[in-house]
Structures are given as C-alpha cells and as structure tokens.
Amino acid sequence: MGTRSFIARPTDPATGSRYAGIYCHFDGYPGYQLPLLLGALRYRFNGDVDALRSHLIDAPHDWSNLGLDLLQGAPDHVLNQLDPHKALPPSAPLTDVITPDGKPAEPFLITERNSDGLDWGYVLHDHGIEVISLTWDTRGPIVGWDTSPLARIQGGRSQWEQGRPAPVHAPRSPLKTASPTTPPQPLPGRAPPADRPDHRRRSLSSPQITVVITTRLRPERLPYLQQMHASLTRQTVPWKAVLVLDGAAPGRVPGTIATDPRVRILALPRQVGAACARNLGLNLVTTEFVNWADDDDAFHDWSLGVRLEAFTDRLGWVAGYSEDWLPDGSTRLWECPVPPGFHDAGDVVTYWPRPEDTIPIGPTTILARTRLVRAAGGMGGLVQGEDYMAAVGTTALAPGVLRPLPVYKYRRHEGQMTRGTRYDELELAARCHAHAFGHALRDIIVTARAE
C-alpha cells in the first residue's frame, strides 16, 4: 500500500476549495517529496513555479511516484547526497487504474472536498510549498522555495500541523555554488589536510560493528545460516559477529563459520530462548555499534556500510527498510509505518498506535550504538516479540534516521517461528507488553524534556 498524497496548485476559496491537484500513490512522506520538489524548481525548472505546476498537475495521468527526472540539471554533489546508491526511480505515471469498461482512468482532481483518506498534501504556492499532514490537520506550514533540497526533514505527522514552524533544518553539507579554481590553503600553524590523520579512514580500518545472531543449529536452517554469514562477507565495511548457540553443540557449526576469525561463538549450556540468548551475546560486544540478526535471514551487500556512514555525533541509531525474501527467491519491499528521515527520541513508537497494529520499524534493520542498546535493556525478556522491545526501547532513548532503502532480507519459509501452531497464543500479550513499554518510556522522556 502506498503513502498516498497529492500535488496541487492554490485556488480561490470561493470555488469551494483552497487547492486543486493530482494524486500521487507512493512515497508521500515529506522526507521523500520535498527534496524532489525543491530540487525540481531550483534545477530543472529554473525557478519557474508555473512550469513546475503545469508539469506535475496538468499531466494527463495521476502519478505512481515522483522521481529522479525532477532533479535534471542538479550538480553531482546534490545527486550523490539525495541518491547515494543510484536507487531513486524516475517519475512514473499511475497506469494500472481502469474504468469499468476497461479504459485507462482519467486523472482524478483532488480538492479539499475529496482529500479524505489521503496521507499528505503538497500545495505549490508562489512563495513555497504548503505541507499538509491530512491525517492530522487541514492546513500546514510553508517550506520556502529557497530551502535547500539537501535540508534535513522530519516526518512525524504531528510536527506538520498549522501554526508550527516546518520541521526542516539546514543541511549538514551546504549547497556548493561554484568549484574553487585553486586548492584551499591550510590555515597558519596547521598541517595541510593530506598530512593530518584521516579519522574517517582510520575508523573504517577496524570493525566498528558487531552483528549478534542466535541459533539452535537446526539442520534445516543450517543452509540459511551459511547464507547469512555469506552476506556478511560481502559487506563494504569491517565487522565482527557473535554467534550465540542456544543449547546447541559447537561441533555442528558449519566449517566456513567456525573458522572465520571475525565470528566469536558463544555456546550456552542449555536452551534459554531468543531474548536471553541475544542479551548474553550482547555481553561480548566490544564495538561501538551493534545490529541484531536472525539465523535464517541475510543483509544486503551495502547494509552495514550505508548505515554506518549516515551516523553523526547526534544520532543513536540508523535504520532502513526490510524485504520479504520469498521461497522463489524474489523479494518484496516492506515499508514500515515510520517515514524516512530524522526522528527525535521517542518519535518512532508514535507510529504504533495499538498493540495489534503493524510494528513501527523493523528491529533487525536498526544499527545502533551499543551503549544505547544496553541502556534500552537489549532484547527484554519476552518468550516472543522480544525484538519489539528492542526496537521501541532503542529508538525511544536517542534520535535516529530511517533511510529509504532496503538493508535486510527477511526470509519467508515454513520453518519460521511465526508460522508455528502455537505462535498466536502469546503474540497479542507480547505486543501489549512491548507497546506499553515503548509508550511509557516515551512519555517519561517527553515529560523530562519539557521540565
């Protein structure tokens, strides 16, 4: 299901609506749409708001999504920051909607009278973009056209209510307006850049991340465990792993894993369950960052590197999307309820309104600071749903970023715990506990922040 939005031009309220526009099916969040709209006006349409409106709103079709073509003419440093992995698709028409007689449907005019059920609205005023969180308000703050497309954008729905400043912050790297004609000269008394230690490169020469995996070495899952290990060997940054054997004999660990010096094996004398096993594995983590993983899943090749490079001193965690890995080898993207972009401490759990709703973020997609994970209680102590505790606890204690790209493959197969005959017996109870924990933790943090 898409995150549904509209792109509109302002109209005379005497017509019965402040705006009129066109439907856009996917990726309606501000963190996705605003950089494209701001960049489109700045680069492709050279400041001509009417031309941008005409291109988007007067199109002969609704939009499936907006995309990379809107950034035509943008300099490389902008494209590299907005689309670092060359994964941004081009804009695409919504063509799979037909009328009862089989003909392609005409574009649907969106106004105030029929925008119920949509998530976000973007009204292209002369002076900026009005961003409307439609599930929260009927109007929204204005983001000026002079805002950098590289600006840091927060996506929480309540943060976009009218009367509040738009939650848009200056980019960490400003736009470059011209290339210097001569190399920059070092300041007096300082060594030239080439002679100074490259802290970033030095930090990437040794592992900063540990992946904690728990397994019972069931025979039918051993090939999956080997695939998980193989996915780690393809990462772009150094790593370590702790493989926790939940009551299994160390001699059954596949040889390629047992002989890998990056993998430390912790053999527990008896079965203790996933939550306890993972927490005991956390005891052995000595790196700055940690990522949980299951023995039957896999990481994308860029997973650890792309999240590690997104960290700043302010962030406690960086996450991404997960993909369902189907038995035929195909994948299906799962976009979690949390929108892409920056999220303050405690924001994530607000996207989990009821225990029975979809969890707000994929626990195994979160790369987090180890001290933060420990402070959040690791994996809690539930017999199932322990990863819900980890997700809401970690994201409640520090701000983080969700990057809109897949970083984890979640294998769908008959041997999954979630397909067990007794799985449903305790699932709701586990969800209720994790849900209450996350919301209570957030309430305490919000209250302390206000005092």
Q: What is the mean pLDDT of residues 90-109?
A: 73
Residue 346 included in any domain: yes
250 and 162 share a domain?
A: no
Residue 184 included in any domain: no
Residue 195 included in any domain: no
Mean residue pLDDT across the chain: 86
Residue 261 included in any domain: yes
Choose among 107, 162, 169: nearest CA to 312: 169
Residue 282 included in any domain: yes
Residue 70 included in any domain: yes
Comparing 15 with 110, the larger pLDDT belongs to: 110
Comparing 427 with 277, the larger pLDDT belongs to: 277
**The token pair that represents 74 in the structure block:** 């943008």
Comparing 227 with 185, the larger pLDDT belongs to: 227
State the DSSP string of 388-430.
HHHHHHHHHHS-EEEEEEEEEEEE--TT-GGGSTTHHHHHHHH
122 and 230 share a domain?
A: no
220 and 271 share a domain?
A: yes
Query: 77-90, pLDDT tens digit by residue?
Result: 899 888 877 778 89
Residue 391 included in any domain: yes
216 and 158 share a domain?
A: no
151 and 281 share a domain?
A: no
Please report the pLDDT score of residue 189 as a whole number: 36
The whole-model pTM stands at 0.58
Of the three residues 146, 169, 192, the one that is the final residue of a domain is: 169
The whole domain housing 271 covers 202-417+427-446
293 and 147 share a domain?
A: no
pLDDT above 90: residue 163: no
Of the three residues 119, 152, 169, the one that is the final residue of a domain is: 169
Q: What angle do CA 360, 364, 369 make, to 5 degrees?
A: 95
Q: What is the mean pLDDT of residues 393-410?
A: 94
Give the separation between CA 230 and CA 350, rounded to whole angstroms.
36
| 401: CATH | 3.90.550.10
66 and 128 share a domain?
A: yes
Please report the pLDDT score of residue 446 as a whole number: 77
pLDDT above 60: residue 204: no
267 and 149 share a domain?
A: no
Diameter over CA atoms, the chain = 78
139 and 132 Cβ atoms separated by less than 8 Å: yes
Number of domains making up the chain: 2
Residue 326 included in any domain: yes
Of the three residues 150, 169, 188, the one that is the final residue of a domain is: 169
